[in-house]
Structure 1
């Protein structure tokens, strides 16, 4: 009523409804220059989207209107009423119905609500004007409620259709796909959380890695930044660190021990010089491994199987005491320089390092030893280690 047009316009009802929900009513002075700011403020308050910001009822709005009129010095005027008898005071304003006049009758409305109808040469006759059929207050309220329900139903249907159309377009386009995140080098827990956030299902495969610390992701499949379908299963290869020498029980068959060592990522080695007599382990079975079980070594390192020769034969009778047996030289090939040196010195040997290879590293690996593993040696003997 202030501007002559509705506050929201758009190409379709859905856009109008969207503006109703998300935009404030623009100030009337933007379309009708000269309106006082107090009127803009009252309109903004009466049409606030937040119900708490609006007047609580029509009486409070009326009081605010009168207060604005007093501040602006607007004169009080009466309410204009149409001519004729006043409508019934039922609290409802009813629209005036159309007056129906026959096409062949010449009629003219008078200010008093009467109709003058020509009667030819006999003069005219004055008849009361037809009054519009009035609706009761209950019927009018029921019509308004039905109209509101129909409007609300259509708005809900439009919103649902728009949401379904948008969701379908998104899903058929990029919604089904996601990107494989880069999780290599992260710990197991953080990597699986990132995979789940990308709508993917992680599976864990543990494997030994020489250069990756334990419990960190060494590799992922598919590769990072690859587009994959949401819900797909991806594989995380989690490092367990360097492979450890498996525990081979005494008395195990050589084939079983070799299979266990290969499964751990190491290389089984059998040497006739590593055989020992044993009264508890049958001949040909494994007594122990060298290095000992649980020792972490680089992948592919050699693990010697010490096998049994069976029970040691009884010595010939003699009155002299047998000479003391010499200890066996341990196997250190494949170990780091520090590990091999520490092991030999702990058994009383002197260690000499041979770094004659031109490209050898100071912290390299042992590639040769003299005396060899299994040879007799006494504490204090010198062991030469060739390092590469």
Structure 2
């Protein structure tokens, strides 16, 4: 079993977490304090240079003094003497931060919402402002050097390392070499000039731009073309590339990325204040930034402006008279400066290619990342010094979010800086749910099979549609489902029927009508003025929906009642009341009986 490698007798060296241009970072374990750490080790080929060693040690000590919650803490420094060639290799023991770099976040999730980007970069500015006040300029602010913890805290990494290398060898000074990734270089870095804290402000503006847009402000085929754009080209306002970005945020980005350092925020603290104002919806201090012709007019004037540091740590401008008064002299001077800048850039790229391994790095065996999630796969490949590109492909549900294939394949040889493309499973492809309205069960099943969806029938016991007809579906038509997703289809059992109107029919006809509708009939009788045998009412009423098999009570007329018609055997009353029209008589005798013929007697007085 291989014995664990220890630095300083206490720091166990574990697997590689990542590579930088000058160092590699390992997972580590502090056995004395029993905690996880990250150990940054200067590359062995650079460790042979005494200049690198001296600056690395001094700047590590300076970084250790930066005690700030948004800065990765440095715990210890030392040298390892166990290399085969006997070279002392410097190392830095740092706080181990669990989380993702902003580069990994952008790769996995794309651009951030502007509000979140403002909050993150405000924390970055807080870290930079603290370091600047302690005399340390970062010089390499980029997404790969800023981490987000699972709790959302910001941690800025690699303080002082870039500064340590800036003047580490006479060769670098002679070639006006610049430090920093090309996409985040300030114009003065690209020209190989002396830089100050405002260079970090420029790089932070590039970082904010990329977080909100999804890519850096300047891109190109090679570092020279990118660096040239930083020196000469204006960035496209971020709002033109992301409509969610406001004009207020535009002004912050463009001010921080001004070509002239005097027109930028003069400190990271100033920039942070504007970021917090914008995040809170308050007016910001940033105004329109001179660009294009305005900048040309300033540079072409009769006075030359230079920026010098002041004792208080700020910056002031001094103006001197330009040598020569003719336009031709000024134009010639401008051209000469431009040529020198391009020559310096070419020298930078040549140096970087030879010193940092660009385009001809050491050969590595590509790791097998198939089956790993995107973040883990990206980290592992980047730890080998490889660049990772990601594409999303359809996959099974189980493969969603994982690497399904990689190119080059695992085990193949590649050189540091080469690209590896990984395919991330996006899950099953989504399909739109078809409209099954009006179909029968078989038709609905066939339609879903054509759409690559599963059919799940469900009885609808409360439908008056014909049996077997679709009465509803879930999800609704037009909604998206993964391929092979399930659609629940309700099928009519025709258990609800509409009660027909059978009043006026004979009982037999009414019964037949009800049975045809799936209902039963029960007879009841009642006297009425309707013809005997005619249905005069029904319960339940007509045109109501009832369950199939429900009994409908039909009331059938028995005709008029006996009191409604005269009895032929009934005789008239024996003592009828005299009619109102009868004439009174004065006869002492009884009146004639009803129905008899009146007679005139001897005692009758006729008037």
Structure with a larger share of its residues in strand: 2
Larger radius of gyration: 1
Question: Scaled by the length of structure 1, what TM-score is found?
Answer: 0.32
